[in-house]
């Protein structure tokens, strides 16, 4: 069976160079979507992983489907819609600040509805990975996510949830209510510290940890100053980041972290050890432009750790 199943919107991506989008003579073309980034990361680390979602039956949709498939991800559940286009995002990095522009309102992915789900496909997985982007896309996407979680829970599939708060897609009030509700259902909750500050309306770390401890989920908080936090029942363990040699593009680091963390879980690691692998993968993603291009293979991870046993025990 497939170890990890994930779904969501993947979009065409056009990247502006040093002149930005407005003045660029040409744009670099790729694709990206939080969930497919995680899927590609897992496939490169040697796991069986499936991604599904709706794309338009257009050149971007074709490119995305071939790209994800080409990375070794099972895309048998994905579909190309004749009625709606593939979503698109433009991105530029000017004076160190990353800006994203979405063109996705009436995309094929936004039209996803519960009837599109294949319950057997989800039920056969060990983990269902979902993000808070999907419920932000549309009412029907929110219902689809709810149904996918229901199917997973009914079949003993563990739910991994990254809130991926995107305030360009919805208001904080609505996001808070929906995302915290999903967190209640998760087995693993992988938020960023900045997201928690907004969701829980406090910057007080102790208070945030207190809220996280009320959840049933194993919580891991990304984005500390230079560490990731594993929230235990009585203590919080800080797991230091790996130093990135060159820092090119921060986007995708969180997805890389999720892929590494999930890889650790699949290998039977304890949470702290899985987080270490997540941190390593995240630190490699930021060293290349694009969402997923910098994701490492298992061989690369092993070469860096210089200790095969640590990963393959
Ligand atoms: O995590 C990176 C994603 O945010 C990016 O690929 C775009 O999925 C995306 C989104 O909806 O913002």
Inform me whether the pLDDT recorded for 310 exceeds 70. no
For ligand 1, the distance from its centroid to the CA atom of residue 60, given in whole angstroms, is 16
Residue nearest to atom 7 of ligand 1 (CA): 33
Atom of ligand 1 nearest to the CA of 100: 12
Sorted by sequence, the CB contacts under 8 Å of residue 95 that are 6+ apart come out as none
User: Any residues with Cβ below 6 Å from ligand 1, and which?
Assistant: 32-34, 37, 133, 166, 251-252, 254-255, 291
Interval 123-136: pLDDT, tens: 999 999 999 999 99
Inform me whether the pLDDT recorded for 312 exceeds 80. no
Domain with 282, as residue range(s), is: 4-312
Q: What is the CATH number of the domain that holds 197?
A: 3.40.1190.20
d(CA 47, CA 52): 16
Please give the pLDDT value at position 307: 60
Residue nearest to atom 8 of ligand 1 (CA): 33
Any idea which residues carry the catalytic annotation? Answer: 255
Q: Which whole-number Å values give the CA distances from 79 to 4, 58, 84, 115, in the listed order?
A: 19, 12, 12, 13
Average pLDDT of span 90-107: 94
Half-sphere exposure of 173 (CA within 13 A, CB side): 0
Number of domains in the chain: 1
Please give the pLDDT value at position 313: 44
Atom of ligand 1 nearest to the CA of 131: 8
Inform me whether the pLDDT recorded for 167 exceeds 80. yes
Residue nearest to atom 6 of ligand 1 (CA): 33
Average pLDDT of span 288-308: 88
């Amino acid at each position: 069976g497939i170890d990890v199943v994930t779904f969501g919107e993947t979009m065409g991506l056009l990247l502006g160079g040093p002149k930005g989008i407005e003045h660029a003579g040409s744009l670099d073309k790729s694709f990206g979507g939080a969930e497919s980034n995680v899927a590609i990361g897992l496939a490169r680390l040697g796991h069986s992983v499936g991604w599904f979602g709706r794309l338009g039956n257009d050149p971007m949709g074709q490119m995305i489907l071939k790209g994800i498939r080409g990375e070794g991800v099972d895309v048998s559940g994905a579909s190309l819609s004749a009625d709606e286009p593939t979503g698109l995002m433009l991105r530029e990095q000017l004076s160190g600040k990353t800006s994203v522009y979405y063109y996705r309102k009436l995309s094929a992915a936004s039209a996803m509805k519960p009837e599109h789900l294949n319950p057997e496909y989800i039920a056969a997985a060990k983990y269902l990975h979902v993000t808070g982007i999907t419920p932000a896309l549309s009412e029907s996407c929110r219902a689809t996510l709810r149904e996918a979680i229901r199917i997973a829970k009914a079949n003993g599939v563990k739910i991994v949830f990254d809130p991926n708060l995107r305030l360009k897609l919805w208001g904080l009030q609505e996001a808070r209510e929906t995302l915290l509700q999903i967190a209640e259902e998760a087995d693993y909750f992988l938020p960023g510290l900045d997201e928690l500050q907004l969701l829980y309306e406090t910057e007080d770390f102790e208070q945030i940890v207190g809220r996280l401890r009320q959840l049933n989920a194993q919580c891991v908080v990304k984005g500390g100053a230079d560490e990731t936090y594993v929230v235990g029942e009585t203590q919080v363990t800080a797991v230091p980041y790996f130093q990135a040699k060159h820092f090119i593009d921060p986007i995708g680091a969180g997805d890389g972290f999720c892929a590494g963390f999930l890889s650790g879980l699949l290998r039977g690691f304890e949470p702290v050890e899985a987080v270490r692998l997540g941190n390593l993968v995240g630190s490699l993603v930021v060293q290349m432009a694009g969402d997923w291009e910098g994701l490492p293979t298992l061989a690369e991870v092993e070469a860096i750790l210089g200790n095969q046993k640590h990963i393959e025990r």
